[in-house]
Amino acid sequence: MNQDTEARLKKDIGLIVAMSIVIGSVIGSGIFMKPGRVIAAAGDSTMALWAWVLGGVITLASGLTLAEVGAQLPRTGGLYVYLEEVYGRVWGFLCGWVQTLIYGPAVIGALGLYFGSLMAHFFGLGDETKFTIGIITIALLALVNAFGVKYGGFIQAAATAGKLVPIILIAIFGLLWGNGQIWDMPSGQAERTGIGAAILATLWAYDGWMLVAFVAGEMKEPAKLLPKAIVVGLSVVMVAYLTVNMALLHVLPAAEIVRLGPNAAGTAAGVLFGDMGGKLLSIGILVSIFGTLNAKILTFPRVPYAMAERGQLPASGLFARVHPEYGTPIWATVLQVVLAVLLMTVGDPDRLSDIAIFAIYIFFVQAFFAIFRLRRRTSPDQRPYSVPGYPFVPLIAIVGSGFILATTLIDNPLDTLYALALLAAGLPVYWLLGKSGKNNQ
Protein backbone atom coordinates (compact mmCIF):
# COMPACT_ATOMS: atom_id res chain seq x y z
CA MET A 1 0.00 0.00 0.00
CA ASN A 2 1.45 3.32 -1.03
CA GLN A 3 2.05 6.31 1.23
CA ASP A 4 -0.73 8.42 -0.37
CA THR A 5 -3.27 5.74 0.45
CA GLU A 6 -1.92 5.50 3.98
CA ALA A 7 -2.30 9.24 4.41
CA ARG A 8 -5.98 9.08 3.39
CA LEU A 9 -6.86 6.37 5.91
CA LYS A 10 -8.60 7.64 9.03
CA LYS A 11 -6.82 6.74 12.26
CA ASP A 12 -9.93 5.90 14.27
CA ILE A 13 -9.05 2.49 15.76
CA GLY A 14 -8.33 2.45 19.50
CA LEU A 15 -7.23 -0.31 21.88
CA ILE A 16 -10.68 -1.78 22.57
CA VAL A 17 -11.55 -2.03 18.89
CA ALA A 18 -8.11 -3.47 18.07
CA MET A 19 -8.49 -6.12 20.80
CA SER A 20 -11.97 -6.98 19.55
CA ILE A 21 -10.54 -7.48 16.05
CA VAL A 22 -7.99 -9.97 17.45
CA ILE A 23 -10.55 -11.86 19.53
CA GLY A 24 -13.26 -11.73 16.88
CA SER A 25 -10.89 -12.81 14.10
CA VAL A 26 -9.50 -15.76 16.06
CA ILE A 27 -12.55 -17.23 17.78
CA GLY A 28 -14.65 -18.94 15.16
CA SER A 29 -14.91 -22.57 14.11
CA GLY A 30 -11.77 -24.08 15.64
CA ILE A 31 -12.89 -24.19 19.24
CA PHE A 32 -15.97 -26.19 18.20
CA MET A 33 -14.53 -28.25 15.33
CA LYS A 34 -11.09 -29.28 16.61
CA PRO A 35 -11.34 -30.73 20.18
CA GLY A 36 -11.98 -34.26 18.89
CA ARG A 37 -9.24 -34.01 16.28
CA VAL A 38 -6.76 -32.79 18.90
CA ILE A 39 -7.60 -35.59 21.35
CA ALA A 40 -7.38 -38.24 18.61
CA ALA A 41 -3.96 -36.99 17.50
CA ALA A 42 -2.60 -36.56 21.03
CA GLY A 43 -3.86 -39.94 22.29
CA ASP A 44 -5.43 -38.81 25.57
CA SER A 45 -7.08 -35.81 27.20
CA THR A 46 -4.02 -34.65 29.17
CA MET A 47 -1.77 -34.49 26.11
CA ALA A 48 -4.61 -32.82 24.19
CA LEU A 49 -4.84 -30.04 26.78
CA TRP A 50 -1.05 -29.64 26.62
CA ALA A 51 -1.39 -29.31 22.83
CA TRP A 52 -3.82 -26.42 23.33
CA VAL A 53 -1.37 -24.80 25.75
CA LEU A 54 1.62 -25.26 23.43
CA GLY A 55 -0.37 -24.02 20.45
CA GLY A 56 -1.27 -20.95 22.50
CA VAL A 57 2.35 -20.41 23.58
CA ILE A 58 3.57 -20.63 19.96
CA THR A 59 0.85 -18.21 18.89
CA LEU A 60 1.56 -15.81 21.77
CA ALA A 61 5.30 -15.86 21.04
CA SER A 62 4.45 -15.26 17.39
CA GLY A 63 2.21 -12.35 18.33
CA LEU A 64 4.83 -10.76 20.59
CA THR A 65 7.46 -11.10 17.87
CA LEU A 66 5.28 -9.77 15.07
CA ALA A 67 4.19 -6.92 17.32
CA GLU A 68 7.74 -5.55 17.29
CA VAL A 69 7.96 -5.98 13.53
CA GLY A 70 4.57 -4.30 13.12
CA ALA A 71 5.46 -1.47 15.50
CA GLN A 72 8.46 -0.63 13.35
CA LEU A 73 6.45 -0.97 10.13
CA PRO A 74 3.03 0.37 11.24
CA ARG A 75 1.34 0.30 7.86
CA THR A 76 -1.85 -1.29 6.68
CA GLY A 77 -1.25 -4.60 4.92
CA GLY A 78 0.19 -6.89 7.58
CA LEU A 79 2.33 -9.84 6.53
CA TYR A 80 2.44 -8.85 2.86
CA VAL A 81 3.93 -5.44 3.76
CA TYR A 82 6.39 -6.82 6.33
CA LEU A 83 7.96 -9.31 3.94
CA GLU A 84 8.20 -6.84 1.09
CA GLU A 85 9.80 -4.24 3.36
CA VAL A 86 12.36 -6.59 4.89
CA TYR A 87 13.09 -9.14 2.15
CA GLY A 88 12.17 -7.34 -1.05
CA ARG A 89 9.42 -7.35 -3.64
CA VAL A 90 9.74 -11.00 -4.69
CA TRP A 91 8.92 -12.34 -1.23
CA GLY A 92 6.10 -9.85 -0.83
CA PHE A 93 4.68 -11.09 -4.12
CA LEU A 94 5.03 -14.77 -3.15
CA CYS A 95 3.28 -14.11 0.17
CA GLY A 96 0.34 -12.52 -1.63
CA TRP A 97 0.41 -15.26 -4.29
CA VAL A 98 0.11 -18.04 -1.68
CA GLN A 99 -2.57 -16.17 0.25
CA THR A 100 -4.53 -15.78 -2.99
CA LEU A 101 -4.18 -19.34 -4.34
CA ILE A 102 -3.95 -21.48 -1.20
CA TYR A 103 -4.46 -19.87 2.18
CA GLY A 104 -7.60 -17.81 1.53
CA PRO A 105 -9.46 -20.41 -0.56
CA ALA A 106 -8.49 -23.28 1.80
CA VAL A 107 -9.74 -21.36 4.84
CA ILE A 108 -13.00 -20.41 3.14
CA GLY A 109 -13.48 -23.96 1.84
CA ALA A 110 -12.82 -25.56 5.24
CA LEU A 111 -15.22 -23.19 6.99
CA GLY A 112 -17.87 -23.87 4.36
CA LEU A 113 -17.57 -27.63 4.90
CA TYR A 114 -17.61 -27.26 8.70
CA PHE A 115 -20.73 -25.12 8.50
CA GLY A 116 -22.37 -27.55 6.09
CA SER A 117 -21.58 -30.50 8.37
CA LEU A 118 -23.14 -28.83 11.42
CA MET A 119 -26.19 -27.68 9.47
CA ALA A 120 -26.73 -31.20 8.13
CA HIS A 121 -26.44 -32.63 11.66
CA PHE A 122 -28.77 -29.97 13.11
CA PHE A 123 -31.56 -30.73 10.62
CA GLY A 124 -30.93 -34.48 10.52
CA LEU A 125 -29.79 -34.49 6.90
CA GLY A 126 -27.32 -36.91 5.36
CA ASP A 127 -23.61 -36.20 5.60
CA GLU A 128 -23.44 -36.00 1.81
CA THR A 129 -25.43 -32.73 1.93
CA LYS A 130 -22.67 -30.79 3.72
CA PHE A 131 -20.92 -30.01 0.44
CA THR A 132 -24.05 -28.51 -1.13
CA ILE A 133 -24.89 -26.53 2.01
CA GLY A 134 -21.31 -25.24 2.22
CA ILE A 135 -21.28 -24.04 -1.39
CA ILE A 136 -24.68 -22.33 -1.07
CA THR A 137 -23.56 -20.57 2.13
CA ILE A 138 -20.29 -19.34 0.59
CA ALA A 139 -22.10 -18.11 -2.54
CA LEU A 140 -24.74 -16.34 -0.42
CA LEU A 141 -22.16 -14.53 1.69
CA ALA A 142 -20.12 -13.59 -1.38
CA LEU A 143 -23.27 -12.09 -2.90
CA VAL A 144 -24.08 -10.13 0.27
CA ASN A 145 -20.55 -8.76 0.50
CA ALA A 146 -20.62 -7.86 -3.21
CA PHE A 147 -23.46 -5.42 -2.47
CA GLY A 148 -21.22 -3.41 -0.13
CA VAL A 149 -19.03 -3.63 2.95
CA LYS A 150 -21.80 -2.26 5.17
CA TYR A 151 -23.94 -5.38 4.62
CA GLY A 152 -21.10 -7.78 5.35
CA GLY A 153 -20.17 -5.58 8.30
CA PHE A 154 -23.70 -5.82 9.71
CA ILE A 155 -23.57 -9.62 9.56
CA GLN A 156 -20.15 -9.52 11.18
CA ALA A 157 -21.26 -7.34 14.10
CA ALA A 158 -24.25 -9.57 14.84
CA ALA A 159 -22.23 -12.78 14.53
CA THR A 160 -19.41 -11.51 16.76
CA ALA A 161 -21.86 -10.88 19.58
CA GLY A 162 -23.55 -14.23 19.00
CA LYS A 163 -20.35 -16.29 18.91
CA LEU A 164 -19.42 -15.46 22.51
CA VAL A 165 -22.68 -16.84 23.94
CA PRO A 166 -22.05 -20.60 23.38
CA ILE A 167 -18.41 -20.28 24.47
CA ILE A 168 -19.28 -18.59 27.77
CA LEU A 169 -22.20 -20.90 28.56
CA ILE A 170 -20.35 -24.14 27.72
CA ALA A 171 -17.23 -23.05 29.62
CA ILE A 172 -19.04 -21.93 32.78
CA PHE A 173 -21.76 -24.55 33.10
CA GLY A 174 -19.64 -27.40 31.77
CA LEU A 175 -17.11 -26.85 34.55
CA LEU A 176 -19.83 -26.31 37.17
CA TRP A 177 -22.29 -29.06 36.24
CA GLY A 178 -20.11 -31.69 34.58
CA ASN A 179 -18.87 -34.64 36.58
CA GLY A 180 -16.60 -36.44 34.13
CA GLN A 181 -12.86 -37.00 34.47
CA ILE A 182 -10.79 -34.36 32.68
CA TRP A 183 -7.27 -35.77 32.90
CA ASP A 184 -5.72 -38.95 31.50
CA MET A 185 -8.78 -40.06 29.53
CA PRO A 186 -7.93 -42.20 26.47
CA SER A 187 -9.01 -41.14 23.00
CA GLY A 188 -10.37 -44.57 22.13
CA GLN A 189 -8.28 -44.58 18.95
CA ALA A 190 -5.88 -47.41 18.20
CA GLU A 191 -3.45 -45.07 16.45
CA ARG A 192 -2.41 -41.52 17.13
CA THR A 193 -0.47 -39.16 14.91
CA GLY A 194 1.37 -37.41 17.74
CA ILE A 195 1.63 -34.14 19.58
CA GLY A 196 2.84 -32.30 16.46
CA ALA A 197 -0.38 -33.07 14.58
CA ALA A 198 -2.37 -32.15 17.69
CA ILE A 199 -0.66 -28.74 17.95
CA LEU A 200 -1.21 -28.18 14.23
CA ALA A 201 -4.93 -28.75 14.75
CA THR A 202 -5.01 -26.17 17.56
CA LEU A 203 -3.26 -23.60 15.37
CA TRP A 204 -6.30 -23.57 13.10
CA ALA A 205 -8.31 -22.41 16.12
CA TYR A 206 -5.70 -19.73 16.93
CA ASP A 207 -5.40 -18.56 13.32
CA GLY A 208 -6.62 -15.10 12.34
CA TRP A 209 -4.81 -12.91 14.87
CA MET A 210 -2.68 -11.33 12.13
CA LEU A 211 -5.76 -9.64 10.63
CA VAL A 212 -5.37 -6.79 13.13
CA ALA A 213 -2.06 -5.92 11.49
CA PHE A 214 -3.93 -5.29 8.22
CA VAL A 215 -5.39 -2.12 9.79
CA ALA A 216 -2.27 -0.90 11.64
CA GLY A 217 -2.23 2.21 9.46
CA GLU A 218 -5.70 3.09 10.77
CA MET A 219 -4.78 2.90 14.48
CA LYS A 220 -4.43 6.03 16.58
CA GLU A 221 -1.05 4.98 17.99
CA PRO A 222 -0.10 1.75 16.19
CA ALA A 223 3.33 1.43 17.82
CA LYS A 224 1.68 1.27 21.24
CA LEU A 225 -1.70 -0.27 20.46
CA LEU A 226 -0.72 -3.10 18.10
CA PRO A 227 1.45 -5.00 20.65
CA LYS A 228 -1.12 -4.57 23.43
CA ALA A 229 -4.01 -5.66 21.22
CA ILE A 230 -2.21 -8.81 20.06
CA VAL A 231 -0.92 -9.85 23.50
CA VAL A 232 -4.09 -9.16 25.49
CA GLY A 233 -6.38 -10.48 22.77
CA LEU A 234 -4.47 -13.76 22.36
CA SER A 235 -4.27 -14.23 26.14
CA VAL A 236 -8.06 -13.96 26.37
CA VAL A 237 -8.46 -16.46 23.52
CA MET A 238 -6.02 -18.92 25.08
CA VAL A 239 -7.88 -18.90 28.42
CA ALA A 240 -11.22 -19.30 26.62
CA TYR A 241 -9.99 -22.30 24.61
CA LEU A 242 -8.57 -24.10 27.63
CA THR A 243 -11.72 -23.62 29.71
CA VAL A 244 -14.01 -24.77 26.89
CA ASN A 245 -11.94 -27.92 26.30
CA MET A 246 -11.85 -28.72 30.02
CA ALA A 247 -15.61 -28.14 30.17
CA LEU A 248 -16.23 -30.50 27.24
CA LEU A 249 -14.13 -33.18 28.92
CA HIS A 250 -16.06 -32.61 32.15
CA VAL A 251 -19.32 -33.34 30.30
CA LEU A 252 -18.35 -35.98 27.69
CA PRO A 253 -15.74 -38.77 27.75
CA ALA A 254 -12.70 -38.07 25.59
CA ALA A 255 -13.49 -41.02 23.31
CA GLU A 256 -17.03 -39.68 22.79
CA ILE A 257 -15.68 -36.23 21.84
CA VAL A 258 -13.47 -37.95 19.24
CA ARG A 259 -16.40 -40.00 17.91
CA LEU A 260 -18.71 -36.98 17.66
CA GLY A 261 -16.08 -34.82 15.97
CA PRO A 262 -17.52 -31.41 15.00
CA ASN A 263 -20.81 -32.25 16.74
CA ALA A 264 -19.27 -32.67 20.20
CA ALA A 265 -19.94 -29.10 21.38
CA GLY A 266 -23.59 -29.27 20.33
CA THR A 267 -24.02 -32.64 22.05
CA ALA A 268 -22.42 -31.29 25.24
CA ALA A 269 -24.82 -28.34 25.12
CA GLY A 270 -27.74 -30.77 24.91
CA VAL A 271 -26.45 -32.68 27.96
CA LEU A 272 -26.07 -29.46 29.93
CA PHE A 273 -29.22 -27.60 28.96
CA GLY A 274 -31.62 -30.21 27.63
CA ASP A 275 -32.84 -30.71 24.10
CA MET A 276 -34.16 -27.19 23.55
CA GLY A 277 -31.20 -25.52 25.24
CA GLY A 278 -28.83 -27.70 23.26
CA LYS A 279 -30.50 -26.69 20.00
CA LEU A 280 -30.29 -23.01 20.90
CA LEU A 281 -26.57 -23.30 21.67
CA SER A 282 -26.07 -25.27 18.47
CA ILE A 283 -27.60 -22.32 16.63
CA GLY A 284 -25.13 -20.08 18.46
CA ILE A 285 -22.26 -22.27 17.25
CA LEU A 286 -23.59 -22.09 13.69
CA VAL A 287 -23.81 -18.30 14.00
CA SER A 288 -20.20 -18.21 15.18
CA ILE A 289 -18.92 -20.18 12.18
CA PHE A 290 -21.19 -18.24 9.83
CA GLY A 291 -19.70 -14.99 11.13
CA THR A 292 -16.15 -16.27 10.75
CA LEU A 293 -16.85 -17.39 7.20
CA ASN A 294 -18.32 -13.96 6.44
CA ALA A 295 -15.20 -12.25 7.84
CA LYS A 296 -12.94 -14.32 5.59
CA ILE A 297 -15.05 -13.66 2.49
CA LEU A 298 -15.06 -9.97 3.40
CA THR A 299 -11.29 -9.64 3.95
CA PHE A 300 -9.45 -12.27 1.88
CA PRO A 301 -10.40 -10.89 -1.58
CA ARG A 302 -8.58 -7.68 -0.61
CA VAL A 303 -5.27 -9.52 -1.10
CA PRO A 304 -5.75 -10.46 -4.79
CA TYR A 305 -7.41 -7.07 -5.35
CA ALA A 306 -4.35 -5.25 -3.93
CA MET A 307 -2.02 -7.44 -6.00
CA ALA A 308 -4.06 -6.86 -9.14
CA GLU A 309 -3.98 -3.10 -8.57
CA ARG A 310 -0.20 -3.33 -8.76
CA GLY A 311 -0.26 -5.62 -11.79
CA GLN A 312 0.93 -8.62 -9.78
CA LEU A 313 -1.61 -11.17 -11.01
CA PRO A 314 -2.49 -12.59 -14.42
CA ALA A 315 -5.65 -10.82 -15.65
CA SER A 316 -4.92 -7.99 -13.21
CA GLY A 317 -7.23 -5.68 -15.15
CA LEU A 318 -10.16 -7.94 -14.29
CA PHE A 319 -9.36 -8.63 -10.64
CA ALA A 320 -8.60 -4.96 -9.91
CA ARG A 321 -12.09 -3.92 -11.00
CA VAL A 322 -14.40 -2.42 -8.41
CA HIS A 323 -18.17 -2.55 -8.84
CA PRO A 324 -19.18 0.92 -10.07
CA GLU A 325 -22.21 1.16 -7.76
CA TYR A 326 -21.28 -0.89 -4.69
CA GLY A 327 -17.55 -0.14 -4.57
CA THR A 328 -16.54 -3.77 -3.86
CA PRO A 329 -13.77 -5.89 -5.46
CA ILE A 330 -16.32 -8.17 -7.05
CA TRP A 331 -14.06 -10.17 -9.39
CA ALA A 332 -11.42 -10.72 -6.71
CA THR A 333 -14.23 -12.09 -4.52
CA VAL A 334 -15.38 -14.39 -7.33
CA LEU A 335 -11.80 -15.65 -7.72
CA GLN A 336 -11.53 -16.58 -4.04
CA VAL A 337 -14.94 -18.27 -4.01
CA VAL A 338 -14.25 -20.32 -7.16
CA LEU A 339 -10.89 -21.49 -5.82
CA ALA A 340 -12.49 -22.34 -2.46
CA VAL A 341 -15.16 -24.49 -4.11
CA LEU A 342 -12.52 -26.30 -6.17
CA LEU A 343 -10.57 -27.13 -3.00
CA MET A 344 -13.77 -28.30 -1.30
CA THR A 345 -14.15 -30.97 -3.99
CA VAL A 346 -10.73 -32.50 -3.29
CA GLY A 347 -10.32 -32.23 0.49
CA ASP A 348 -12.17 -32.64 3.77
CA PRO A 349 -12.22 -29.60 6.10
CA ASP A 350 -9.48 -30.91 8.42
CA ARG A 351 -7.23 -31.52 5.43
CA LEU A 352 -7.91 -28.05 4.03
CA SER A 353 -7.25 -26.39 7.39
CA ASP A 354 -3.90 -28.18 7.69
CA ILE A 355 -2.91 -27.04 4.19
CA ALA A 356 -3.90 -23.45 5.03
CA ILE A 357 -1.85 -23.37 8.25
CA PHE A 358 1.18 -24.91 6.54
CA ALA A 359 1.01 -22.38 3.69
CA ILE A 360 0.82 -19.30 5.90
CA TYR A 361 3.41 -20.47 8.44
CA ILE A 362 6.04 -20.60 5.69
CA PHE A 363 5.82 -16.82 5.64
CA PHE A 364 5.30 -16.44 9.38
CA VAL A 365 8.74 -17.99 9.95
CA GLN A 366 10.27 -15.42 7.61
CA ALA A 367 8.46 -12.63 9.43
CA PHE A 368 9.80 -13.90 12.78
CA PHE A 369 13.35 -13.85 11.43
CA ALA A 370 12.74 -10.28 10.28
CA ILE A 371 13.00 -9.07 13.86
CA PHE A 372 16.74 -9.81 13.85
CA ARG A 373 17.23 -7.81 10.66
CA LEU A 374 15.21 -4.89 11.97
CA ARG A 375 17.15 -4.87 15.23
CA ARG A 376 20.35 -4.35 13.27
CA ARG A 377 18.79 -1.33 11.57
CA THR A 378 17.50 0.44 14.70
CA SER A 379 18.89 1.26 18.14
CA PRO A 380 16.82 0.55 21.27
CA ASP A 381 15.77 4.18 21.67
CA GLN A 382 14.40 4.16 18.10
CA ARG A 383 12.17 1.14 18.68
CA PRO A 384 8.64 2.04 19.77
CA TYR A 385 8.19 -1.47 21.18
CA SER A 386 10.64 -4.25 22.02
CA VAL A 387 9.56 -7.85 22.42
CA PRO A 388 10.11 -9.02 26.02
CA GLY A 389 12.49 -11.92 26.51
CA TYR A 390 14.45 -11.22 23.33
CA PRO A 391 15.89 -13.34 21.72
CA PHE A 392 14.16 -16.26 23.46
CA VAL A 393 10.56 -15.31 22.59
CA PRO A 394 11.31 -14.92 18.85
CA LEU A 395 13.22 -18.20 18.98
CA ILE A 396 10.18 -19.93 20.53
CA ALA A 397 8.09 -18.61 17.65
CA ILE A 398 10.66 -19.75 15.07
CA VAL A 399 11.31 -23.19 16.58
CA GLY A 400 7.62 -23.84 17.24
CA SER A 401 6.66 -22.82 13.73
CA GLY A 402 9.51 -24.83 12.21
CA PHE A 403 8.35 -27.86 14.18
CA ILE A 404 4.84 -27.44 12.80
CA LEU A 405 6.12 -27.14 9.22
CA ALA A 406 8.34 -30.21 9.59
CA THR A 407 5.56 -32.25 11.23
CA THR A 408 3.10 -31.33 8.49
CA LEU A 409 5.61 -32.22 5.80
CA ILE A 410 6.15 -35.65 7.40
CA ASP A 411 2.49 -36.40 8.18
CA ASN A 412 0.96 -34.96 5.00
CA PRO A 413 3.75 -34.99 2.40
CA LEU A 414 1.48 -34.93 -0.67
CA ASP A 415 -0.57 -31.91 0.43
CA THR A 416 2.48 -29.95 1.55
CA LEU A 417 4.25 -30.70 -1.73
CA TYR A 418 1.20 -29.34 -3.60
CA ALA A 419 1.42 -26.18 -1.51
CA LEU A 420 5.17 -25.84 -2.13
CA ALA A 421 4.66 -26.44 -5.86
CA LEU A 422 2.10 -23.63 -6.03
CA LEU A 423 4.51 -21.42 -4.09
CA ALA A 424 7.28 -22.18 -6.59
CA ALA A 425 4.89 -21.55 -9.49
CA GLY A 426 4.70 -17.95 -8.33
CA LEU A 427 8.32 -17.32 -9.38
CA PRO A 428 7.85 -17.71 -13.15
CA VAL A 429 4.58 -15.76 -12.88
CA TYR A 430 6.43 -12.92 -11.17
CA TRP A 431 9.13 -13.02 -13.82
CA LEU A 432 6.64 -13.07 -16.73
CA LEU A 433 4.61 -10.21 -15.28
CA GLY A 434 7.79 -8.20 -14.78
CA LYS A 435 8.97 -8.95 -18.30
CA SER A 436 5.64 -7.87 -19.80
CA GLY A 437 5.70 -4.67 -17.78
CA LYS A 438 2.53 -5.53 -15.87
CA ASN A 439 4.28 -5.85 -12.53
CA ASN A 440 4.18 -2.31 -11.25
CA GLN A 441 6.89 -2.57 -8.67
Q: How confident is the chain (441 residues) per 10-residue block, as mean pLDDT?
A: 46 70 78 91 93 92 84 70 87 92 92 91 87 94 75 60 79 90 86 82 84 60 75 87 94 93 88 85 83 82 84 88 79 93 88 88 92 86 79 93 88 87 92 71 48
What pLDDT score was predicted for residue 112?
Answer: 93
What pLDDT score was predicted for residue 5?
Answer: 43
Q: What pTM was computed for the model? A: 0.82
Domain around 376: 3-434
| Residue 441, in any domain of the structure | no
The CATH number of whichever domain residue 150 belongs to comes to: 1.20.1740.10
R_g of the chain, CA atoms, integer Å: 21
| Count: domains in the chain | 1
What pLDDT score was predicted for residue 151?
Answer: 56
| Residue 28, in any domain of the structure | yes
What pLDDT score was predicted for residue 211?
Answer: 66
| Residue 194, in any domain of the structure | yes
| Residue 358, in any domain of the structure | yes
What pLDDT score was predicted for residue 281?
Answer: 79
